[in-house]
Structure 1
């Protein structure tokens, strides 16, 4: 028998305010058609004044708990993947812990930008396999609307706010790739590429920054590295793309999603796509898409799911899960 980290619940939350592409036409030299053609994005959600990342995360977490039929004290650990925490410290995860009324266990944040949820999921899997925790609540949550330069049409139209959450629980399997749960992971980073995607400010520089991106360079790295990490994770599990039921990619840009699917030899009919409705929600995009995919009836128990993401750092990775 083999211990596996099995998904037992998922949920998401989106702020009430919906921002259509047309809203940017009032202040920028852009159009709905231009944004759709280059990114596939039609709308996104922005957090309300006073609505924080931990607020979004807590609501997604509660929805995941409800989906699993659990309460907060059934959870041993909370990991929040975010680049936009409420405060420099304490962690957003401890704030979520308090908001959920969880009085035991531990909580911490992971920061790997858009790849954050893949890194958090890998850490949660390791905690379960090592016996440190039985149930881990893994959340991706962002308020990227707070770090955008609204004079830069190449970046500010791409991002949105939201949160998604999964609950992983330790369960025994047979030790084969037919088991439910996390079957393999693959993580990577290369700090030499920092300057193609970053925020030009931070605590130690005593500045407040905005997101900066070299779009063409990010695109070039993304398609190659996402296909590579997904293939490696499948190989680690003794599987190939022929075994995949669903790819749930980081929802950054429809052209990146299409290019990665093509390199993996998979049709778009097997890709969960939410970028048109949410934009790029960074670390929240994969758990958001997983929750929406389940809600739509796409992802079902027993399906083989591959998630992959790339973000600033550069940091990238993939996780193979049997749902």
Structure 2
């Protein structure tokens, strides 16, 4: 009998500290009006000094449990997408495995930056449909505030902290996953990076080691030209017509960017679910935070078709066309 994968629960967590646009007026030369007009961001959440990515991941999973009253004792794999792990090793996923007491669960972190959560979902789908796993937690979590340079007015206004988690399980008759894509344009990696061990890429010296550095114009140009093609390819692979798509869930990088992508893709912008207004750009967490927000607002209904498209550092991208099965 063929194995399929089904999304059965979701949850999220954001830190309690709020940093609004007015706060940045005291730090760098900017204004609330300027930030909102160019990004769509009003405020973002900031992790406490002693609060790390693993803490956010764990609390998102607890929220998932509270929301759906699910049993996680038989989870056999944890996939945590992040570019801001607590340590190089052990992984955030290993910390979660220990916290949950899952003695027989695999654990790995993946770093595909803002495409990380969709990569994680698609990997979970592959592991389950191949018969290797039955029940997988997929988390996207970031504490970007810890690698943000708050003297750089071009980037510090963008980033926030947060986490979202999905539970993906084996099913015989109600699959969530319809089609997916993966890809990378590594030659453009210099447009968005956070250097650590190396300060050189393709022979060029990198700036500001230890902090996120972004060429906003370069990323914007790449995204608005590439993402519409990814949307078209994924819908074609899934044999879903554009008019049958209920929700478009892109990485919440910039509201103006999403508006341009939606327009070029002939998607009504009202169908675009975003989380950046009150959470900022949380990299791998933006997509699950967007979905969690829409679920709590009763927007997403069972059997709706959602197209998730993550894109960012790498420059990487990944999409997942799913049927909502919760």
Instruction: Give the TM-score taking structure 2 as reference length.
Output: 0.94
Q: Distance in 2 between matches of 1:203 and 1:170?
A: 41
User: How many residues are aligned here?
Assistant: 317
Q: Distance in 2 between matches of 1:204 and 1:29?
A: 28
Whether contact under 8 Å (1:230, 1:307) holds in the other structure is no
Q: Distance in 2 between matches of 1:225 and 1:4?
A: 30
3-state secondary structure, aligned to 1:44: strand
Q: Distance in 1 between matches of 2:197 and 2:276?
A: 28
Q: Deviations over 1:57-96 (max 9, x none)?
A: 0010122233332233131111000000000101100101
Deviation at 1:235, TM superposition (A): 1.1
Q: Distance in 1 between matches of 2:162 and 2:272?
A: 20
Q: Distance in 1 between matches of 2:68 and 2:322?
A: 17
Cα RMSD over matched residues? 1.6
Q: Distance in 1 between matches of 2:283 and 2:167?
A: 19
**Unaligned stretches of 5+ residues in structure 1:** 174-178
Q: Distance in 2 between matches of 1:69 and 1:204?
A: 46
1:176 is aligned to: none
1:217 is aligned to: 218
Deviation at 1:127, TM superposition (A): 0.5
Structure 1: which 4+ aligned runs deviate by more than 4 Å? none
Deviation at 1:311, TM superposition (A): 1.1
2:186 is aligned to: 191
**Unaligned stretches of 5+ residues in structure 2:** 201-207
| 1:162 partnered with 2:172 | no
Deviation at 1:144, TM superposition (A): 0.3
Q: Distance in 1 between matches of 2:309 and 2:180?
A: 10
Q: Distance in 2 between matches of 1:4 and 1:303?
A: 18
3-state secondary structure, aligned to 2:99: helix
1:81 is aligned to: 81
Q: Deviations over 1:2-51 (max 9, x none)?
A: 53211100000000001101101101000101110110000000000100
Deviation at 1:282, TM superposition (A): 0.1
